[in-house]
């Protein structure tokens, strides 16, 4: 059947930070949609087939919705579809219904009039007899049909190209008709997390393949008269379902409480009337009046007037409140990514609105908000691309094949015994329930649950438990610098004024500066604000203001009290020297702020003096950026040398500049572009950022464990290199090579150059250094900044993998570049970890395989892991727990597989001699031995040290499959030995050949095979449980050890002297020969020793010799193959050569 294929069109503008709904979280731009229409006769045929199959067809449809669509519908154009089949970028298929909503007459024309321009699409509604809006909901998002594009588009496409001018135009408010129409289009402003009723949850849980298989097994056991076993398993299944339903509903309710929020907000209508409405009624374009006392924001909104102090810790993990300023006017496009400091995000706490009359315009609602996209990512997580989970499914198929082969054997054996056809079918199907353990997927999560509990006790919170196992395979960890590797707070180290004549002497204390632009700039150029009499803001800016000795004061009441004292300008804040009790000529008022932007690497303010006599603009930012915005003649000639000198000492260097501003226009509306140009250079501010004491220790631990570490920071490259040396990322005897790439310009072609650190080698030493690069192995590190990284990605993609393989320091990286870096490293098959403070690192934290946010906010959804510890000591702990969890998952998987194989072999052997296991024998082994051991096996904690070797993640690797095959062979031989020893005794009495199965119980064959298999269940738990090097030794798990001893004692007692009561219950034959009983125990001990020896030899790599038969194979990981190629290349990196995109020989990795 061919289907018409369409696309789900995405908006082209980037989504809002701090929680962008990008391709990482919801790659809808790669969705493919197929349209289908109901066919009545097909629907009735399927209903009839469902009745005839006693509902089996409906269960199949529940598991495979795509099949239900194909059988009941026909393909059709999307414009006519009733049902849509969506294939996402992960090849997962989803079935959604097309919904319709009736619109009021004339509303379509009004909407077209409101939204019609060249860049926005109009909505063509389906006109039949009624005017209908066609849309569907997918993962909470609404997609509407746009006829012009011929596809379903996100409803956010209707307002994606709003400009700043458009947003400011909404200050007058929407009319009731406009608001009503927009609500029909955009839907209610709700992040609705559905809490399903217990009946629906029960239905969905019971139809889970695990419970369907369990129900099939219980029915089979009841028919086979295994009443006790079937009833016990039924009770356990009911309890499991009840617990599962409770946990699912509890999690849904918790997420719903966190996500869904409704409050009363004040909006402005186009008539000028202010109206209180429910936040559920908000639509994009609504003008919201923000209360001065603050509120929890129910939507994303652009701030147009006033200033707001906002706590964004729920979304970013950053506990420091952020000051939001009004969106500048102009014709430029609006994007919440680039206008973060002017955007209020849903779910964040507005602490205080300043300036009186704070106004914002709604830009996104519901799941299209910052909070909504994060909640959606929790509700609909990406499939985990981890080999262990993939191999688990493949291994179940392998066990299914074993069950199939065993079923064929049992049919042949049973057919020869002349059993009835009913017994033949039941016994054959019973083998399937034995060989494929339905509890296997649940059992392997036990280790992860224990690890998550241990992490929580250590102050590390996890919102994605499957990521814990991935921690065990991390091969590279990236660290932010400020607040992560170094202390959050900085101390002012000194100030150096500069100008056309050069730099002045270093002034260690800004209080010693003479009154002038420099000290005024230090006191004014910040976004520090006051809350309840205490200054709040960025720690760097707080230190800078404190160092000047000036105080900050903000207007009170309606905010107009100070305006008259400063020439009638709207005053945001006033700073003055601490020694002054009244305003004098030195008091300065801040009338305009342009907050710091990571992309722009700067911030600026406009100030006026007391009385409004003069207006000055001050700018603060990275030295390179500030210098580029200053008049060239005002920048000292020694600029680069001084900057390199201070940065090389590990100091954080900021530059300041200023210029007079014309007072005639309204300074409150002056544009940023006008302020930040033609400035006069003022000088440097140096701040000492100390490395945290634990950083060097942790980096050394990672290095000894062969885990690569890298620094990704927004700071200067020389400062970053200095910190890298201090914390041990770059060793004392290792060299740093700088990567300098330039983009294509009108005057020059792109270039790429590798140069040694200036103070480490002279030009004459270059050839000597180059020759030694590979003689001593990996003894050099590359360092690159954000501009060079961008040019490298755009113009030298063939060199990018090689640079990434050797680069340790990434400086001046913008937030989106950090995310891009993580993705590029993953393309080289690295398992990447990222540790940051959660502010500018949100994208990278979510993109990484393991993201760790250092935050006090336990509820932060900025990353999968959140650590309350304020240093990177959590990283080795997380990796150790990940390795422990992964090894435990392996052990549990192998144990559950061997448990099935032990019982499978026992039943096949007993079938061969016309008997089987008793009802309570199954119950004893499954419930009291295997289940208890599997529950406590994962309690062992991680090793105290990180080993250089990482655990394997492949269940289909030669050591795993080889050991299972060898253990299975040993198990079969042990059970056969027990059987043959029994039949060789003088007192042996053969079975009654006229009966089969439980009718032959108790008997000698059954008792000997059951006794040995019971020992096998116990000692295989010891054999597969791993300790060194990733887990603590077995004796640390004292509960597991005690249970082993108890079960071993109990089983030995059942073998030596079961007693008449337990012998009768378990259908055990009472052997009167004590020597024979001791022989069975000895045989079990010998079986244990052989299996233990086999496991030790496999661990020592005995099976790896078989790999030599297939020849040498290259590693599947690209970074390992590329590392070998680079190590064999004496010409890499080409020092002091200027390369063009097509000039140099490229080393490629196929």
Alpha-carbon dihedral of residues 986, 987, 989, 990, nearest 10 degrees?
A: -30
Pairwise CA distance, residues 345 & 365, whole Å: 10
> Please, which residues have CB within 8 angstroms of residue 548's CB and are 6 or more apart in sequence?
510, 511, 519, 522, 523
Is residue 499 within a helix (H) or strand (E), and if so which, with residue range? strand 491-499
Beta-ladder partners of 780:
735
In 689-801, the DSSP E strands lie at 708-712, 735-742, 751-756, 780-785
Bond into 921 cis (ω within 30): no
Pairwise CA distance, residues 1011 & 1001, whole Å: 14
Pairing of strands 141-146, 151-154: antiparallel
Catalytic residue among 286, 480, 871, 919: 480
Pairwise CA distance, residues 958 & 990, whole Å: 42
> Which among 13, 5, 11, 22 has a CA at the least distance from the CA of 151?
5
> For 1015, phi and psi rounded to 5 degrees?
-65, -35
Residue 1131 structure tokens = 């010409």
Beta-ladder partners of 616:
607, 660
> Which among 465, 366, 440 has a CA at the least distance from the CA of 894?
440
Pairwise CA distance, residues 442 & 439, whole Å: 5
DSSP notation for 279-293: GGG--TT-EEEPPTT
Pairwise CA distance, residues 530 & 549, whole Å: 16
**Torsion over CA: 45, 51, 57, 59 (sign):** positive
- CA 566 from chain centre, in angstroms, equals 50
- Tell me, yes or no, if 480 is annotated catalytic: yes
Pairwise CA distance, residues 1044 & 1134, whole Å: 62
Residue 10 CA neighbour count, 13 Å, CB half: 15
CA-only gyration radius of the chain, Å: 35
319: left (phi over 0), alpha (psi -120 to 50) or beta: alpha
Pairwise CA distance, residues 255 & 272, whole Å: 38
Bond into 18 cis (ω within 30): yes
Beta-ladder partners of 737:
756, 782
Bond into 608 cis (ω within 30): no
3-state secondary structure of 552: strand
**Which residue has 């094949």 as its token pair?**
401
Task: Quote the DSSP letter at residue 839.
Answer: S
Pairwise CA distance, residues 525 & 575, whole Å: 10
C-alpha separations of 447 from 248, 395, 884, 1035 in Å: 20, 19, 8, 17
432-449: b or e for each residue (b if 16 or more CB lie within 10 Å)?
bbbbbbbbbbebbbbbbe
> For 849, phi and psi rounded to 5 degrees?
-65, -35
Pairwise CA distance, residues 278 & 190, whole Å: 11
338-354: b or e for each residue (b if 16 or more CB lie within 10 Å)?
bbbbbbbbbbbebbbbb
The 10 Å Cβ neighbour count of residue 1105 is 8
> Which among 594, 589, 613, 614 has a CA at the least distance from the CA of 604?
594
Pairing of strands 832-836, 476-479: parallel
Which residues are tagged catalytic? 480
């Amino acid at each position: 059947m061919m289907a018409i294929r369409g696309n789900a069109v995405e908006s082209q503008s980037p989504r809002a930070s701090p929680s962008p709904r990008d391709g990482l979280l919801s790659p809808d731009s790669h969705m493919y949609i197929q349209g289908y229409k109901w066919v009545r006769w097909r629907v009735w045929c399927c209903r009839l087939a469902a009745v005839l199959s006693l509902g089996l067809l409906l269960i199949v449809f529940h598991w495979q919705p795509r099949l239900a669509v194909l059988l009941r519908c026909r393909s059709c154009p999307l414009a006519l579809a009733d049902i849509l089949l969506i294939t996402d970028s992960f090849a997962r298929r989803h079935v959604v219904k097309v919904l319709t909503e009736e619109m009021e007459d004339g509303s379509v024309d009004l909407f077209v009039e409101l939204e019609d321009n060249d860049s926005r699409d109009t909505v063509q509604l389906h006109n039949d007899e009624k005017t209908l809006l066609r849309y569907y909901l997918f993962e909470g998002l609404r997609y509407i049909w746009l006829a012009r594009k011929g596809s379903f588009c996100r409803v956010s496409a209707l307002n994606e190209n709003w400009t700043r001018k458009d947003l400011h135009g909404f200050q007058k408010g929407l009319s009731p008709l406009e608001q009503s129409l927009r609500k029909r289009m955009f839907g209610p402003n709700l992040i609705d997390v559905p809490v399903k009723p217990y009946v629906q949850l029960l239905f969905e849980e019971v139809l889970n393949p695990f419970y369907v298989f369990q129900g099939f097994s219980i029915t089979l056991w009841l028919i086979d008269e295994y009443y006790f076993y079937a009833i016990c398993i039924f009770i356990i299944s009911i309890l499991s379902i009840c617990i599962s339903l409770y946990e699912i509903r509890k999690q849904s309710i918790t997420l719903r409480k966190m996500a869904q929020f409704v409050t009363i907000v004040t909006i402005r209508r186009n008539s000028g009337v202010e109206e209180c409405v429910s936040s559920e009624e908000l639509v994009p374009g609504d003008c919201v009046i923000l209360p001065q006392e603050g509120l929890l924001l129910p939507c994303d909104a652009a701030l147009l007037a006033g200033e707001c102090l906002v706590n964004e810790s729920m979304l970013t993990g950053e506990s420091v409140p952020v000051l939001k300023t009004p969106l500048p006017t102009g014709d430029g496009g609006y994007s919440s990514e680039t206008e973060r400091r002017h955007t209020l995000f849903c779910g964040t706490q507005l602490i205080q609105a300043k300036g009186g009359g704070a106004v914002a315009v709604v830009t996104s609602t519901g799941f299209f908000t910052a909070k909504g996209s994060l909640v959606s990512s929790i509700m609909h997580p990406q499939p985990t691309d981890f080999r262990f989970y993939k191999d688990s499914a493949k291994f179940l198929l392998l066990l299914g094949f074993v069950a199939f082969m065993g079923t064929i054997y049992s049919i042949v054996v049973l057919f020869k015994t002349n059993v009835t056809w009913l017994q033949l079918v039941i016994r054959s199907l019973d083998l399937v329930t034995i060989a494929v353990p339905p509890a296997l997927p649940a059992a392997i999560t036990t280790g992860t649950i224990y690890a998550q509990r241990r992490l929580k006790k250590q102050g590390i919170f996890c919102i994605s438990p499957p990521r814990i196992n991935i921690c065990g395979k991390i091969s590279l960890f990236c660290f932010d610098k400020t607040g992560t590797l170094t202390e959050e707070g900085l101390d002012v180290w000194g100030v150096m004024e500069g100008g056309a004549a050069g730099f002045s002497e270093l002034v260690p204390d800004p209080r010693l500066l003479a009154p002038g632009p420099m000290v005024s700039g230090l006191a004014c150029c910040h976004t520090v604000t006051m809350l309840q009499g205490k200054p709040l803001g960025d720690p760097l800016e707080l230190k800078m203001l404190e160092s000047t000795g000036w105080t900050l004061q903000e207007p009170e009441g309606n905010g107009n009290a100070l305006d008259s004292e400063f020439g009638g300008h709207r005053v945001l804040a006033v700073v003055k020297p601490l020694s002054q009790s009244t305003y004098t000529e030195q008091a300065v008022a801040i009338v305009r702020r342009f907050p710091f932007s990571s992309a722009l690497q700067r911030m600026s303010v406009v100030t006026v003096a007391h009385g409004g006599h003069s207006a000055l603009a001050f700018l603060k930012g990275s030295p390179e950026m500030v210098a580029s915005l200053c008049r060239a003649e005002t920048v000292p000639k020694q600029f680069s040398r001084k900057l390199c000198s201070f940065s090389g000492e590990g100091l954080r260097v900021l530059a300041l500049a200023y210029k007079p501003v014309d007072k005639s226009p309204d300074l409150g509306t002056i544009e940023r572009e006008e302020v930040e140009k033609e400035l006069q250079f003022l000088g440097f501010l140096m701040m000492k950022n100390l490395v945290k004491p634990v950083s060097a220790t942790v980096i050394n631990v990672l290095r000894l464990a062969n885990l690569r570490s890298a620094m990704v920071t927004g700071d200067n490259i020389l400062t970053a290199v200095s910190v890298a040396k201090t914390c041990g990322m770059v060793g004392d005897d290792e060299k740093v090579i700088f990567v300098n790439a330039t983009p294509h310009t009108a005057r020059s072609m792109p270039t790429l150059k590798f140069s040694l650190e200036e103070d480490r080698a002279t030009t004459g030493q270059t050839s000597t250094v180059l020759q030694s690069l590979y003689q001593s192995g990996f003894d050099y590190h590359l360092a690159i900044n954000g501009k060079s990284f961008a040019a490298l990605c755009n113009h030298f993609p063939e060199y990018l993998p090689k640079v990434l393989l050797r680069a340790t320091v990434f400086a001046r990286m913008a937030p989106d570049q950090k995310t891009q870096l993580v993705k590029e490293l993953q393309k080289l098959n690295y398992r990447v970890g990222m540790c940051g403070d959660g502010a500018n690192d949100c994208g990278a934290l979510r993109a990484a395989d393991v993201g760790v946010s250092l935050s006090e906010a336990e509820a932060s959804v900025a990353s999968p892991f959140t650590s309350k510890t304020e240093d990177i000591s959590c990283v080795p702990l997380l990796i150790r727990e990940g390795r422990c969890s992964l090894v435990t998952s392996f052990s549990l998987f192998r144990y559950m597989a061997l448990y099935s194989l032990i019982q499978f072999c026992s039943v096949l052997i007993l079938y061969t001699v016309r008997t089987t296991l008793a009802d309570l024998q199954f119950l004893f082994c499954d419930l009291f031995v295997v289940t208890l051991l599997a529950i406590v096996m994962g309690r062992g904690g991680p090793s105290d040290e990180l080993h250089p070797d990482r655990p394997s993640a492949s269940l289909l690797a030669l050591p795993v499959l080889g050991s299972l095959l060898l253990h299975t062979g040993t198990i079969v031989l042990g059970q056969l030995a027990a059987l043959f020893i029994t039949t060789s005794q003088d007192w042996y009495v053969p079975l009654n050949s006229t009966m089969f199965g439980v009718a032959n119980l108790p008997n000698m064959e059954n008792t000997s095979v059951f006794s040995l298999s019971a020992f096998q269940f116990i000692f295989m738990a010891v054999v597969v449980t791993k300790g060194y090097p990733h887990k603590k030794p077995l004796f640390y798990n004292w509960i597991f050890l005690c249970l082993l001893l108890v079960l071993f004692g109990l089983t030995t007692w059942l073998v030596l002297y079961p007693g008449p009561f337990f012998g009768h219950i378990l259908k055990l034959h009472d052997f009167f020969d004590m020597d024979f009983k001791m022989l069975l125990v000895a045989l079990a001990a010998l079986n244990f020793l052989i299996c233990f020896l086999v496991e030790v030899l496999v661990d020592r790599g005995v099976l790896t010799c078989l790999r030599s038969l297939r020849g040498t194979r290259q590693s599947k990981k690209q970074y390992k193959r590329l590392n070998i190629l680079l190590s064999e290349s004496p010409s890499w990196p080409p020092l002091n050569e200027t390369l063009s995109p097509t000039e140099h020989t490229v080393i490629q990795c196929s």
